[in-house]
A and B are shown apart, each in its own frame.
Chain A
Amino acid sequence: MPERPQRIVVVGGGMAAVRLSEHLAGDDRFAVTVLADEASPPYNRILLSAVLEGTHAADALTLRSAEWYAEHGIDLRLGARVLEVDREAREVVLVDGQRVGFDRLVLACGSIPTLPPIRGLVRRDGTLDPRVHAFRSLDDCRRLDEATRMLVEAERGRATRPRAVVVGGGLLGLQVARALAVRGLLTEVVEGADHLLASQVGSGAGAVLARDLRRLGSEVYTGARAVRLTGDGLQLDNGYVLPSDLVVLAAGGRPSTALARRAGLMVRRGVVVDHTLISVTDDRVHAIGDCAEHRRRTTGFVPPAWEQAEVLARVMRGEEATYDGSRSVARLRATGLDVAVLGDPERAEGEVVEVTNPLAGSHRRLVVHGGRIVAAALVGDLSRVGLITQLYDRGTLLGPDEPGQLLLPEAADAPAPLPDEAEVCACAGVTAGEVRACGSVGECVDRTRATTGCGGCADGVRRLVEGSPTPVAVG
């Protein structure tokens, strides 16, 4: 007799949760319920800044429609907020009092934005100042998009431009800042650390980024903390007041762990899981994505969340699978700023090969350990980013000269006059000497059949016949 399917309850409807659903879809050993607290079907969160910038249609974010879940027998409940996990009864309790039983529980709760300690963010009645925006969800994005649109329209034709301040100079902060600037707002960035992108790159790279932003019209305040929001604007701890019609909080987030904590699961920064993504407290509970802590690390990026989802699906199917930590590649998605961060280029152990050109605004750093690229920061110049990422991801063993060569521009083919023995027409197998021996293009065609195949050498043959000194390329 077939066993009844295992009841899998997933708390959260984000990037990790949808990936897990995809891996479990169509497997009748599982009855999957997804409790998503947002009202929209699961969408691609990392593209929100592109929607704000206007390069990406909002309705193109949907990862899987509600119909897809229904067709694959997955019970997707939108707007379902979980109040409590009753581990004893193996049930989760929703805010509306409903209880959902589980055999296995997957916490994929994501992270929540950090609210920086700025006085005046929250008004006396407990609501946020209307100028203040978080930037985590599609709703946040829509609200900010609408506010931006209204500001731009209201100021149209006037001398002053609307002003925005982004609090936080990390990846998200820079993307939002560029998006708002592209939309026409005068945008400034406040970062508490002494340089931008401080958790990913060193000060040299941060300085290149700050210069780029200024060149694009955005002022950058580093080593500065926003302390107070007043009617005049956002006041920094160095006394500056930045006039602001909009304040976007992008000062990072922390794993969403309140539910796990209340349920008595072990939580440090995130919900602590082992290499099979099982909670160290309860082997019927799993955590994946931003809320999970594995080997004392939480990530905040999509690729590890997806890898965890895949590993967990395999674990659930009874296959041998372990999560060993992912190689991370962080790419800034913002018009006019070029950043790629592979691994942890500031802290990874190894020899550093670095090329910095402040004049051109580029900073490129490879960290090489045992002949392999173990981390990299590429700022302002992304040449060969695809190749460097491949070598990093695959752990390719390089020769001693290669890291340096990878950071140098590719040698241009030096044009040179063709020697007589060089093949000019590959289709007919004709050399430069044979062409030079002809008096005209017509004679050359008749005698050698050059140019009668693909036609690519016609120009070169003409110049050779005419005795033009101009170098020609092999066609």
Chain B
Amino acid sequence: MTATQTQTETGTTTQTHCPYCSLQCGMRLAGRRTPEVSAWEEFPVNRGALCRKGWAAAGLYGGRERLTSPLVRDRETGEWSAVSWDDALDRVAAAIRAAQAAGGPDKVAVFGGGGLTNEKAYSLGKFARVALGTSQIDYNGRWCMSSAASAGIRAFGLDRGLPFPLADVEETDVLVLVGSNLVETMPPAARHLDRLRERGGKVVVIDPRRTPTADRADLHLQPVPGTDLALALGVLHLLVAAGAVDTSYLAERTTGWEDVRDSVASWWPERVERVTGIDAHEVRALAAMLAGPRVMVLTARGAEQHSTGSDTVLAWINVALALGMVGQRGAGYGCLTGQGNGQGGREHGQKADQLPGYRRIDDPAARAHVAGVWGVDPDALPGPGRSAYELLDALGTPDGPSALLVLGSNIVVSAPRATHVTSRLEALDLLVVCDVVMSETAALADVVLPVTQWAEETGTMTNLEGRVVLRQRAITPPSGVRSDLEVLAGLAERLGSAASFPTDPEEVFAELGRASAGGPADYSAITYDRIRDEKGVFWGGERLFAESFAHADGRARMYAVEHRGAAEQPCADYPIHLTTGRVLAQYQSGAQTRRVRSLPDDGPFVEMHPLLAGRLGVGQGDAVRVATRRGEMTAPAKVVPTIRPDTVFVPFHWVGANRLTNDALDPASRMPEFKVCAASVVAHA
């Protein structure tokens, strides 16, 4: 019992956080087996507000689909049989040893997730590097905010999604949301927009769809998918032309401005119009709004999930820097991270090129420090491995891994070019999936390990602001399940690991703190008690960049970036832009939310404009077939006037959308191009 757990007549009430997105809304849970959700008014990020996913979170415990015993699949018959934990872990360890004996340590790969707690993400990275000795580890966060992370590191020397508390949004004068539909994807965050507008501030939304977020904006621009970068260049062009840039800020706090300035001289509004499909007068209207007041630019997946995603973010960072906004209170640049632990998940070593504390795995000093904490020889640590998509693409190939361990990810639904990726999973000798239910990915596995979830376990998450919060165990897990930490410890022991793997989350967190000490994301001063007392603790401080940036010279770097456009452009056979995204009542691959009975699950749909529907002879609700070079799907049409007539939208919570998406990667972040590809759309015969 802690200070944030209180005993009442009906039982214990626990302060914790929502199981879903990066807001990590505070909530209270009561009850011992199936929790009851109530508001936690004092938690500053959401102040008691929750969306229906949060209110319905207890529904995660209502279903009969919960796995409570390790399962092993017979490859001959496809039949599942329940086995004991010892049996399951022995089999997995034996198969790992066999694979590594045959082809070396890199024959075994690990795939993590941005929803895992910091403790799990940290332990998973350590498990891969020490217990397995493999370089082959990456995670689905690579498909989330990696473009913004890459751009942030290059521009500022540091990546923290928001370098300020989310509530600072209320203090700015003009908020520019590039590719964010936060009203539907993180609804409680929208309250900050309303308070901003009550104060007289303005909101700009850039999105090919007029979303509920765009409905609350003062200006909405609808670009052709994949052209946000060109819009940023055009905006900066006009700001330069109008003399609205902050030359003294640029001189004192940045490098590279001259090249950037010259590079935008060729992006006049009418050229931007031709590329982006946004009328030139709207480009001018946006630039006019940005000249003068405090400006905050926030990007999200719409801008980032492109083969040019990191350059797109750099282009918008350039706008914020040129206006002298970054580091000012109530202004600057930030990324709205998506997954629950999207921020912390990328800081502690489950990324192919990283060690804990956001250290680089190819940095000798970082290797020495972390190896010291782990009690191993620095030279024994592997180097950087493949990025998420490249890792999956290599599975079962002669040079690639033959065994894969998956935690916290439903790859079959969420990977781009999913049919191909599924065939790679099927080519493995061993697939092990840790999950709470039989997800589409678990269904392909040789061994499925049932693990604890959310309110059954304790761990920290780092929300989109870089605020480390504590999810506390509130209820008793069903018998038969183990925590991910226990699974890793059990496997490490069987593999004869040189390092130990604690299973108590608070102990792991303390070790994580030591491993991250001195790194860019330094957690060493954060403890569970501080998190409880302070309602979350920001790593690096509440607000960053006020005085200097994290590069050695203290300056931000500006990079001249050019518009290249989507990797796949419409053609005669595939004439329509396809974009993907989320709906309010579902989350990510739907493995959790599709099983919550009180959340509507109406399946995927194909959103299109009446002009396009008329061209195709498609009515509301009619079946429509969408095909790309990589796959096809059929779903009912949703005809709305709010989307660009040359673009269709399909939500990605179900198998289907990602059979269509393009696996072209961003050269810097290795982000796949989820947000645009060329498609054919026809009425289903």
Contact = CB atoms under 8 A, between A and B. Distances in A.
Interface stretch (A25-33, A150-158, A395-403): A395-403
Given A386-B278, A394-B570, A455 B190 contact: yes
Contact of A387 (B50, B183, B187, B277): B277
B597 interface: no
Contact of B262 (A64, A382, A384, A390): A64
Given A60-B265, A382-B279, A427-B584, A453 B188 contact: yes
A64 B599 CA distance: 56
> Which of B270, B572, B644 is most buried by chain A, counting CB atoms within 10 A of its CB?
B270
Interface string A392-432: 01111111011001100011010000000000001111000
B183 A454 contact: yes
A63 B55 CA distance: 55
A397 B575 contact: yes
A410 B277 CA distance: 17
Contact of B270 (A62, A331, A394): A331
Given A68-B259, A455-B191, A382 B50 contact: no
A60 B187 contact: no
A390 B52 contact: no
A456 B611 contact: no
Nearest to A449: B55
A68 B212 CA distance: 45
Contacts of A427: 50-52, 187, 584
A61 B188 contact: no
A453 B25 CA distance: 11
Contacts of B456: none
B551 to A, nearest CB: 21
> Which of A47, A60, A411 is most buried by chain B, counting CB atoms within 10 A of its CB?
A60
B383 interface: no
B614 A401 contact: yes
A429 B52 CA distance: 7
B615 interface: yes
Contact of B274 (A389, A411, A454): A389
Interface in B597-622: 598-600, 611, 614-616
Nearest to A332: B270
B258 interface: yes
Nearest to B191: A455
Contact of A456 (B190, B242, B258, B645): B190
A46 B585 CA distance: 50
A470 interface: no
A413 B641 contact: yes
A265 interface: no
A331 B274 CA distance: 10
B481 interface: no
A472 interface: no
Given A397-B575, A456-B216, A63 B262 contact: yes
Contacts of A452: 39, 48-50, 55
Interface stretch (A49-57, A94-102, A192-200, A314-322): A49-57
Contact of B611 (A50, A62, A402, A453): A402
B81 to A, nearest CB: 39
B575 A60 contact: no
B273 A389 contact: yes
A45 to B, nearest CB: 11
Contacts, number: 148
Interface in B239-280: 240-243, 258-259, 261-262, 265-266, 268-270, 273-274, 276-280
A224 interface: no
B240 A57 contact: yes
Contacts of A63: 262, 265-266
Contact of A454 (B55, B191, B281): B191
Contacts of A395: 572
A387 B216 contact: no
A333 to B, nearest CB: 6
Contacts of B243: 57, 60
Nearest to A342: B274
Given A46-B268, A57-B243, A382 B281 contact: yes
Given A57-B242, A427-B187, A402 B615 contact: yes
A63 B258 CA distance: 11
A386 B187 contact: no
Contact of A333 (B188, B270, B279, B616): B270
A428 B243 CA distance: 47
B440 interface: no
A43 interface: yes
B526 to A, nearest CB: 30
B479 to A, nearest CB: 33
A385 interface: yes
> Which of B55, B194, B274, B572 is most buried by chain A, counting CB atoms within 10 A of its CB?
B274
Interface of A: 43-44, 46-47, 50, 55-57, 60-65, 67-68, 303, 329, 331, 333, 382-387, 389-391, 393-399, 401-402, 405-406, 410-411, 413, 426-429, 449, 452-456, 475
29 contacts: A43-B265, A55-B242, A60-B261, A68-B262, A333-B268, A385-B280, A386-B273, A386-B279, A387-B644, A387-B646, A390-B646, A394-B570, A397-B572, A413-B641, A426-B52, A426-B187, A429-B585, A449-B50, A449-B52, A452-B55, A453-B50, A453-B52, A453-B187, A453-B188, A454-B190, A455-B49, A455-B194, A456-B190, A456-B216
Counting from the closest, the 8 A-B pairs by CB-CB distance are A454-B187, A399-B615, A454-B190, A331-B270, A386-B277, A453-B187, A56-B241, A453-B51
Interface of B: 39, 48-52, 55, 183-184, 187-191, 194, 212, 215-216, 224, 237, 240-243, 258-259, 261-262, 265-266, 268-270, 273-274, 276-281, 569-570, 572, 575, 584-585, 598-600, 611, 614-616, 641, 644-646
Given A426-B52, A452-B48, 8 more contacts: A57-B243, A331-B280, A333-B268, A382-B281, A384-B279, A397-B575, A454-B191, A455-B194
